[in-house]
Every structure is written in C-alpha cells, then in structure tokens.
Amino acid sequence: MPELPEVQTIVNELAQRIIDKRIEHCDVLRAGILKGPSRLFCYQVAEQQITAIRRIGKYILIGLGQQKWLITHLRMTGKFILQTADVKNHIHDRVIFKLNRGEKLVFNDVRCFGHMEIVEDLSAHKGIQQQGWDPWDKELTPLNLKRKLQNRKSAVKNVLLDQTLISGLGNIYVCEILYKEKINPLLPVNLLSKKRLGGLIKSTREILELALVHNGTSISDYKRVDEKSGEFQSFLQVYGKSGEACKICGNLISRIKQNQRSTFLCLKCQKN
DNA sequence: AGCGGAACCTGTCGGC
DNA sequence: TGCCGACAGGTTCCGC
C-alpha cells in the first residue's frame, strides 16, 4: 500500500504525537507479524520511552530509549493508528502498544504482509542496509544514475520499483512519474539518455513533494494515524485511469501488465 | 549479476 | 444469491 509520501506522512504525524511517550505494555495478536518470539518482543518494548521517529525508504523506525529501534514495514495494508485505550480492538489489529496517558498505538494490517522487529544496530539490518538513494539524496544525479543503469536492460518501470536503486517509489508514483516525463514504461532503462534521467529525477522529486503536501494517496487502504485519508488521489493523472481520456492528448489511458503488476500509461504520449 | 515468476495473506469486486 | 477468478499501494525467495 504505502509508498514514500504515505510513509512519511505517518512518520510526521507520529513524530508530533508519540515522541517522549512511554510504552507501558504490548499485546501481540498475530505473532506472524514479528520476526522473533512475541514474549521477547514485548519484553524489549515494555517500559521504553519513544525517543525518535524516522523513515528510511518505506521503513518506519521508532527509537526506543537510547539504543533500540522498532523497525516496521507496512507492505501493502499495514497502518499505525493512535487511539484512546478504551477503543475496542478491530479485527485486523495485529500489535497493540499501550502508551502512558491512556492512549494506544495500534499496528493494523489486513493482509499480514507487514512486519516489525527490534534491533540495536541499524546498520546490521539487511533490508535497511540495502536501501538505495533517497529521492532527495545529493548523490542522486543524472551521471551517477546513468552509471548504475548502464548494464540493466529491464524496463524502466521495473527498475524504478527496485528499492536498492532509489528507495520509496511504488506502483502509483512510478506510473505518475513516467507519464509526466512521457517515458514508455517498457523502455529498457539503459536506453535512457543522461538528459532524460535528469528529467526523471526532477519529476520524481516534484511528484513526491506534491504528494507529501497532500498527505499521500488514499485509494483503498491507506489511512493516516488519525484514520483520515490522504488527498493526493485527486491529483493522479494516470494511475487507475484506464479508459479515461489523457489530459494531454485525449487518447484513452491504457493498462498493461509488467512483472504481474498493473502499469497505466498513455500509448500516444509515452511512445518511447 | 540480473531477471521474471511464484509465494506470502486477506478482502473486494465483477462476471456468469 | 453464489461461486470463481482477477486484482490490490510490496518484498523475498528461487531457478534460469
């Protein structure tokens, strides 16, 4: 479900609302969400103060005390919801953190693809260590990108979904970015010139920034910490628009499959 | 090394 | 109404 703008929105809201609070107790309703044993997890988070919140790629990192991190990945349908402690559990609540002052932080996940774990050393976490450039990383330049992509012949759409290259992009924003740059999602990525890669970087940043301002995209599952929706869905140009007219040329938007996932594009505007 | 397909799990929607 | 397949914002593993 959530891509960078949605994850960052959640991180921003959590930062405002749970920093300096203390986890009193933890209930694990679905052990499969955790990497290790539930009892160990609960022991590790109990009585810990929340000291920091940050994002790396699509990972949410919650600092506990001075030397532990709770690492969460929401995958498709994971959510963090902050509620008063008297709210009844929902069927898809998977892990509940009881906070001081009568609140609870709920990890809710319909499909149970999401996961959490506690680590002491972030650099020892394989997933985080493998994350590629953040979209605003100064090292993400047309030249550096060109160098990295020289030997890759996969379709540009699939390469942009690779978190070890650029971290944070997902199916929605990749479709939007390629549409804005008029790049065919099927184009082998090594055929893109340095100049076009520059455009890709620029549009990536612009679209993500706009989505961030609007608190992300809510189509089906994504909800914010207070269960409000994002608003960027009303700005989408191609994602989910198959059969509708392209706003640039009037041609109908198409849907194709790439690596078993839907790609939306205008065949006329995105010819190469 | 790079690539694509299957798998993970649950719910919803559209067609017959 | 009921069943069945397709589809969903993601990642990892496996074999080629």
User: Which protein residue has its CA closest to C1' of B8?
Assistant: A113
Hits for CB < 7 Å against strand B across A residues 113-152 = 113, 151-152
Closest nucleotide C1' to the C-alpha of A5:
C9
CA distance A267 to A272: 9
- What percent of chain A has a predicted confidence (pLDDT) above 70? 100
Find the Å distance, CA of residue A26 to C1' of nucleotide C9: 28
Residue A221 pLDDT: 86
Nucleotides of C under 7 A from a protein CB: 7-12
Structure tokens at A248: 């640039």
By annotation, the residues of A acting in catalysis are 2-3, 58, 261
Token pair belonging to A88: 């009844």
Instruction: Count CA atoms closer than 13 A to A228's CA, side-chain side.
Output: 10
Distance A195 CA to B9 C1' (A): 42
Task: Name the nucleotide nearest A262; use CA and C1'.
Answer: C7
pLDDT category at A28 given cuts 50, 70, 90 is: very high
Q: What is the three-class DSSP state of A84?
A: strand
Query: Closest nt to A174 (CA→C1')?
Result: C9
Distance A78 CA to C3 C1' (A): 29
Q: What is the pLDDT of residue A57?
A: 97
Residue A260 has pLDDT above 90, yes or no: yes
Closest nucleotide to A112 by C1' from CA: B9
- Ranking A46-60, A86-100, A196-210, A222-236 by mean pLDDT, the lowest is A222-236
pLDDT in tens, A186-229: 999 999 999 999 999 999 999 999 999 999 999 888 889 998 99
Q: How confident is the model at residue A1 (pLDDT cuts 50, 70, 90)?
A: low
Q: What is the pLDDT of residues A164-184, one digit of tens each?
A: 999 999 999 999 999 999 999
For A243-252, what is the mean pLDDT?
A: 96
Mean of the per-residue pLDDT values of chain A: 96
The Cα-based distances of A32 to A72, A91, A112 in angstroms read: 13, 15, 8
Q: Transcribe A92-154 into DSSP letters.
A: TEEEEEEEGGGEEEEEEESS---EEEEES-GGG-HHHHT--B-TT-TT--HHHHHHHHTT--S
Mean pLDDT of A234-254: 96
Per the CB < 8 A criterion, the answer to whether A156 and A188 are in contact is: yes
Q: Is the CB of A261 under 7 A from strand B?
A: no
